[in-house]
Amino acid sequence: MKLERLILGTAGIGGVWGPVDPAASVETVLAALEHGIGAIDTAPAYAHAETYVGEALRQWEGPVPAVSSKAGRLQGFTAYDGRYDYSRGAMLQSVGESLEKLKLPVLDVLFLHDPSQVPRQDFGHVVDVLREIKEMGLAKAIGLGGNPPEWAWPWLRDGAFDVLMEYNRLNACSTVAMETSLPESLSAGVRYYAASPLNMGALGGQFSAFTGNPPGWLPEADIEAARRLHALAQTECMELRAMAHRFLLSLQFSFNIVIGPSNPQQLEATLGDFAAGPLPQYLFEKILHYSKDTLPR
């Protein structure tokens, strides 16, 4: 496949899902760049991810990749540390600190992190701050990083944002975005990033843990879909992870895929999955049927 569709997500290498080796995290970024991945997504909320990306970029001697980060959600050290500050001062400070850690003069994309956490009455002001940051030359583009509430869509339709990144809405567990946000984004000229292709690990390394003791934040429909997909993968003599990754290549839409390896070994496995190309049509259609059985959200 063309690697320009892939974006290296950095929550895993930052350490929010568990302890990481800093050297291995830097190595993962460098390996992704060496393979030809030309875009990286990070955030202050991803523990030490920005620092590791910055160190990798310091060592990297090739073309500078496109780098996106986020503002609004403060630095946290686990995926469950949700602290927010959407004030103008906090967001300007966040962008400045991100650029310093990343050793960059400008971000290619600045995302508003977790837009659903912004009080509805404050959203217009927050959009104005993002526009100001873009006009200051600190970000080339602005976007929504996280599944937006329905009331935020007028801003997307009216061209306030350049990019929309959603998670768990376009993968083998759920394709709700196919009939909603994906075509609507593309029709509005907004680029679409599909994050969490493995549904927060339910279709990968966390399958046993999540199906054995489902976390409260993961919908039951996703758990059931993961179980069915796992059985299907076994029938097809295929790794569940590989089947889920290749499923995304079978979708006939133009979008980017944000992958989330936590170390170089996971990166190599992920790239191997995508290198195998789209799934056979019969298998793609079976998975599509399963994913459409999940509850809309």
Count how many residues are written for the chain. 297
Whether 297 is in a domain gets the answer no
The dihedrals phi and psi of 145, each to the nearest 5 degrees, come to -110, 90
Whether 163 is in a domain gets the answer yes
**Model confidence band, residue 291 (pLDDT cutoffs 50, 70, 90):** confident
Based on the structure, what is the number of domains in the chain? 1
What's the confidence (pLDDT) of residue 52? 99
Average pLDDT over every residue of 224-249: 98
Nearest in space to 7 (alpha carbons), one of 58, 71, 54, 69: 69
Find where tokens 């937006």 sit: 148
pLDDT in tens, 181-222: 999 999 999 999 999 999 999 999 999 999 999 999 999 999
CA distance linking residue 160 with residue 273, whole number of Å: 35
Whether 99 is in a domain gets the answer yes
Whether 295 shows a pLDDT value over 50: the answer reads no
Q: What is the pTM of this model?
A: 0.96
Tokens of 176: 């709700």
Burial class (CB in 10 A: 0-12, 13-18, 19+), 161: buried
Whether 43 shows a pLDDT value over 70: the answer reads yes
State the CATH number of the domain containing residue 199.
Answer: 3.20.20.100
Average pLDDT over every residue of 256-278: 98
pLDDT in tens, 71-121: 999 999 998 889 999 999 999 999 999 999 999 999 999 999 999 999 999
Q: Which residues form the domain of 224?
A: 3-292
Whether 18 is in a domain gets the answer yes
Whether 296 shows a pLDDT value over 60: the answer reads no
Q: How far is CA 111 from CA 3, 47, 73, 238, in A?
A: 22, 17, 10, 35
